Chains A and B, each alone.
Chain A
Amino acid sequence: MKPRDLVTRSGPFLGLVGVLALFGLLIGPGFFRPANLDLITRQTAIVGIAALGMTLVIAAAGIDLSVGSTIALATVVIALLLRSQTSPALAALAAVGVGAFCGLLTGVLVTQLKLVPFIVTLGMMLLVRGAAKGLAQEQRVEAPGTWLNDLLRTLPAGEGLLVPSGIWTFLALALLVAGVLGHTRFGRHLLAIGSNERTARLCGVPVEGCKIAVYTIASALAGVAGVMEFAKLSVGDPTVAIGLELDAIAAVIIGGGSLTGGKGTVFGTLVGAVLMTVIQIGCSQEGLPNWVQQIVTGGVIVAAVTLDRWRQGLPGG
């Protein structure tokens, strides 16, 4: 591997190490206590799962602004189903299915009406949010407690799983998505569409089918993120996760993705997502107010893209 490649691939990771070291210095070794690491992973899971799908969409030079709304809809769907005595597994599956359906709709609109994904998903963002509020009659939906609520619950010490099952799900999905993007024809096709759609078409890549598939998968993953969000809240909340899509996009970009497509790795995205969580948690434990966190996170995003440009010497971002 050439030195430049090494820097390109490990850039976000080095950034994460730097930020961890910074908070380690500021807060002391207590920052690395297991409880804190547990907190970091649990807080990363929701945006992280959403960002997995976003990685695929952005690799294909698309964008999905409806992720936060899809998560909210998923929590409402689960709560309503649980209230009507549906089994938790079925309720969770339904939430993922509803997410997938939203993505299918997005994909069809993007490919058949030849609309810009930014506009379509901006519309879907409002549409899905509205649907969630309507279903929930504009209030939180209480639901009976089930094992779904344990997905992100800290385990009592000494239990075999180390981290909650929701985190294992997150990691398994990350491996799966990384495998799809890096080692399948479909993954190559997505990157080719993102890199140069005309070349992809010329080479016989089923461009429309790939786009429909990628929005469906991404929204299904947003549905999974919705399950995790429900686990955290234990109620259905139609106003939750507003703006979460922007965090997911930021994670992808910090991790080396490019909004012009053709780039992005799951590993980078995970690092980007963890980096943002670490900044949040570190800042709040250091006693810094929320507005400082926001300024720092904003700075990190701009710095990441600037560094990426500078490394490549190419227009991008």
Chain B
Amino acid sequence: MAEELGAPPPRFAMRGIRKAFGATLALGGVDLAVRGGEVCALVGQNGAGKSTLMGILAGALAPDAGEMRLDGEPFRPRSPQEARRAGVAMIYQELSLAPHLTVAENIVLGTEPTRLGLLRGQEMRDRARRALEQLQHADMPLRAVAGTLSPAEQQLVEIARALAGSCRILVLDEPTSSLGRKDVERLFALVGRLKGQGQAIVYISHFLEEVKQVADRFVVLRDGKNAGGGETAPVSPREIVGMMVGRPVDNLFPRSPRPTGEVALALEGFGTNGATLTLRRGEVLGIAGLLGAGRTRLLRGIFGLAPVREGKVRLAAYVGRPSPGRSWREGVGFLSEDRKEEGLAAGMSVADNLTLSRLRGLGPGPFVRAGAQEKAARHWIGRLGILCQGPGQPVGELSGGNQQKVAFARLLHHDVDVLLLDEPTRGIDVASKAQIYALIDALVSGASGGPAKAVLLVSSYMPELLGLCDRIAVMHRGRLSAARPAGSLDEHQLILEASGAGAA
């Protein structure tokens, strides 16, 4: 990344960027520079620091240390608005158009031309048309309502909005995850044209084949640090994965003998892509895949939180279409990946959250005895070492790790046989992670008392999958591969298959 003497400065350069959240170091001195007319891919595993770095570029986060330059000038945006005015345009995975406004209104949103406070409709549409012409998509109807467009068209409108705001850096964050194959090709053509017009483009993607196709250069982040990079042409996806992984799997994962028992859960042609799998007591079955591959949807479908038309779920004594209430009754528990919005009711107490799925039995008839509820909660607070002031404390006041333990304890209180775990260690500290790993091992080995449980685990963190699971299946764009013994797989293989580059 060294600048040659006499060469013009890159469009933008970030140097030695550091950012910590509390005790966690998210970025430990990261460099990134992109020239005009260049597409640079930013790759790395989840949690490697890509979003934090882009958040800093976009002005949403302030770096603790480090320097940013835009066309050689110092650049330190204090807010996203300021970054946008300076020409930093972010196109996120989730589309961010105002769905009720028209295409033209969306393109000029925030910079509407006015006279005496009144909108100038003609100039607004002219500007929108110029932006769309620049993308060679002048055919887009300016008066169409944005919400009625396809995801690909909406993305185009977003890019047009960025261009209308005279952008200097365009950041595309996982831009193809909601596009079909044809739209992906069209997007690549567009990226090529924008490059030809001298734009500096940062392209974030998990799909390494895409990276090779669209980007000139790539930069790898790992654990908040630069972990390599260079021209994309001469390297293979396998080499890039090597830079992304780099770290030995530490011994966080206890593994007791796990005698496998009867089938606890079976899927037959489940969902639109016909997922099929068998989960036995005494095993952890992992599902690897990228964000948006459909893993969460599958898990929610099994539990009954997402509607699934095709196929059946077979549990020990029950076959059919599940609903959450039914699943709990049949001994299936679900841990949501979204602790804040779904997993826990932040305003309710630890005890209420922990016992909500099974209040029956905590009092006679329809009653709930506060004493019995607290006793049950205290039991699990002690067993899992949940740090809180007591069962009555609102769960929202706990740390992330302790919140997650409460959410996990709900499954234990309910005494389910099948645990559906969606990203069980997302965003929690290492100590809590280790505890949850030990707990999962104890549950499937039967060491926690009672018959051995069965665990279906979705995780984006490959070491976790390899360390915990007995078998692993890979999901790519909605399709679930057959499960194979974890011992026959490694991180390289999983990432390759998850990004569609492996011989799955």
| Contact between chains at B352 and A192 (CB < 8 Å) | yes
26 CB contacts below 8 A, A to B, read A183-B363, A183-B367, A183-B369, A184-B366, A185-B366, A188-B352, A188-B359, A191-B352, A195-B346, A195-B348, A196-B348, A199-B343, A199-B356, A200-B345, A200-B356, A201-B324, A202-B324, A202-B343, A203-B328, A204-B324, A204-B325, A204-B328, A204-B329, A205-B356, A206-B325, A262-B347
B336 and A202 contact, CB distance less than 8 A: yes
Which of B327, B328, B342, B369 is within 8 Å of A199, CB to CB? B342
Q: Is the CB of B305 within 8 A of A192?
A: no
Assess whether B93 is interfacial by the CB under 8 Å rule: no
Q: Nearest chain A CB to B341's CB is how many angstroms away?
A: 6
B356 contacts across to A, CB distance below 8 A: 188, 192, 199-200, 203, 205
Tell me which residues across on chain B come within 8 A of A187, comparing CB atoms.
368
State A186–B348 Cα separation when bound (angstroms): 15
Most chain B CB atoms below 10 A, which of A185, A187, A205? A185
Most buried by B among A183, A186, A200, A203: A203
Size of the A side of the interface (Cβ < 8 Å), in residues, is 22
A263: Cβ under 8 A from any B Cβ? yes
Residue of A nearest to B346 (CB): A196
CB contact list, A127-149 vs B, under 8 A:
none
Q: Mark B288-328, 1 if CB is under 8 A from A, else 0.
A: 00000000000000000100000000000000000011111
A200 to B329, CA, bound (A): 15
Q: Mark A147-185, 1 if CB is under 8 A from B, else 0.
A: 000000000000000000000000000000000000111
Assuming the contacts A199-B353, A204-B327, A206-B325, asked whether A185 and B347 have C-beta atoms less than 8 A apart, the reply is no
B residues 347-402 touching A (CB-CB < 8 Å) = 347-348, 352-353, 356-357, 359-360, 363, 366-370
Q: Is the CB of B327 within 8 A of A198?
A: no
Residues of B close to A188: CB separation below 8 A: 352, 356, 359, 368
Chain A residue contacts of B343, Cβ below 8 A: 199, 202
- Complex: A196 Cα to B305 Cα, angstroms: 15
Q: CA–CA, A206 to B348, complex, Å?
A: 18
Interface string of A44-84 (1 = CB under 8 A from B): 00000000000000000000000000000000000000000
How far is it, in angstroms, between the C-alpha of A205 and the C-alpha of B347 when the chains are bound? 17
Chain B residues within an 8 Å CB radius of A201: 305, 324
15 further contact pairs, Cβ within 8 A, besides A183-B367, A183-B369: A183-B368, A184-B368, A185-B359, A195-B345, A195-B348, A196-B342, A199-B344, A199-B345, A199-B356, A202-B334, A202-B336, A203-B328, A204-B325, A204-B327, A205-B356
A189 to B357, CA, bound (A): 10
Number of residues from B at the complex interface, CB < 8 A: 30
Complex alpha-carbon distance, A204 and B414, angstroms: 12
Q: By the criterion CB–CB under 8 Å, are A262 and B348 in contact?
A: yes
- B129 within 8 A of partner (CB): no
* B410 interface contact, C-beta 8 A: yes
Contacts of A198 in B (CB 8 A): 341-342
Which residue from chain A places its CB closest to the CB of B326 in the assembled complex? A204
Among A189, A201, A263, the one with the most B-chain Cβ atoms within 10 Å of its Cβ is A201
Chain A residues with CB under 8 A of B357: 203-204
Q: Which of B263-293 contact A (CB under 8 A)?
A: none
How near does chain B come to A28, taking the closest CB pair, in angstroms? 43
Chain B residues near A184 (CB, 8 Å)? 366-368
B151 to chain A, nearest CB (A): 24
Q: Please classify the interface of chain A as helix (H, G, I), strand (E, B), loop, or mixed, using the class held by over half of its residues.
A: helix
Q: Which of A183, A191, A196, A262 touches B344 (beta carbons < 8 Å)?
A: A196
- Nearest A residue to B366 via CB reads A184
The residues of B with any CB-CB pair to A shorter than 8 Å are: 305, 324-329, 334, 336, 341-348, 352-353, 356-357, 359-360, 363, 366-370, 410
B residues near A200, Cβ cutoff 8 Å: 345, 356
Complex-state Cα separation, A126 to B171, whole angstroms: 52
A187–B366 Cα distance when bound, in Å, is 10
Name the distance in Å between B422's Cβ and chain A's nearest Cβ: 11
Shortest CB distance A212–B (Å): 15
Bound complex: CA of A187 vs CA of B373, how far in Å?
Answer: 14
CA distance A184 to B364 in the complex (A): 10
By a CB distance below 8 angstroms, the chain A residues around B328 are: 203-204
The 6 closest A-B pairs by CB, nearest first: A196-B345, A195-B345, A204-B325, A203-B357, A204-B328, A198-B342
B341 in contact with A192 (CB, 8 Å): no
List the A side residues contacting B346 at CB < 8 Å.
195-196
Bound together, the chains give a CA A263 to CA B348 distance in angstroms of 9
Contact A195 B347 (CB under 8 A): yes
Q: CB-CB < 8 A to B324: which residues of A?
A: 201-204
Chain B hits for A199, CB < 8 A: 342-345, 353, 356
Once bound together, how far apart are the Cα atoms of A201 and B305, in whole Å? Answer: 8
Of the listed residues A183, A187, A191, A202, the one surrounded by the most CB atoms of chain B closer than 10 A to its CB is: A202
A191 surroundings in chain B (CB, below 8 A) = 348, 352
- A192 touching B348 by the CB < 8 A rule? yes
B353: A residues at CB distance < 8 A: 199
The interface residues of chain A lying within 8 Å CB-to-CB of B352 are: 188, 191-192
Does the CB pair B410–A203 fall under 8 Å? yes
- Distance, CA A262 to CA B347, complexed state (A): 7
Q: Which of A195-232 contact B (CB under 8 A)?
A: 195-196, 198-206
B345 pairs with A192, CB closer than 8 A: yes
Nearest chain B CB to A199's CB is how many angstroms away?
4
Chain B residue nearest in CB terms to A2: B389
Closest Cβ of chain A: how far from B365's Cβ, in Å? 9
Q: Which residues of B contact A185 (CB under 8 A)?
A: 359-360, 366-368
- Smallest CB–CB gap between B209 and chain A, Å? 36
Chain A residues whose C-beta falls within 8 Å of the C-beta of B360 in the assembled complex: 185
Closest to B323 in A: A204
Residue with the greatest number of chain A CB neighbours at <10 A, chosen from B336, B342, B346, B359 = B359
Q: How far is the CA of A188 from the CA of B347 in the complex (A)?
A: 13
Which residues in A have their C-beta under 8 angstroms from that of B347? 195-196, 262-263
Residues of chain B within 8 A of A183, CB atoms compared: 363, 367-370
Taking CB atoms, residues of chain A closer than 8 Å to B370 are 183
Given the complex, which residues of A lie within 8 Å of B366, measured CB to CB? Answer: 184-186
**Which residues of the other chain, A, contact B342 by a CB distance below 8 angstroms?**
196, 198-199, 202
Contacts of B363 in A (CB 8 A): 183
B305 pairs with A262, CB closer than 8 A: no
Closest to A193 in B: B345
Q: In whole angstroms, how far apart are the Cα atoms of A187 and B305 in the complex? A: 23
With A183-B369, A185-B360 as known contacts, state yes or no: A202 contacts B305, CB within 8 Å: yes
Residues of chain B within 8 A of A195, CB atoms compared: 345-348
Closest Cβ–Cβ distance, residue A176 to chain B (whole Å): 13
> What residues of chain B lie closer than 8 Å to A205, measured between beta carbons?
325, 356
Least CB distance from B340 to A in Å reads: 9
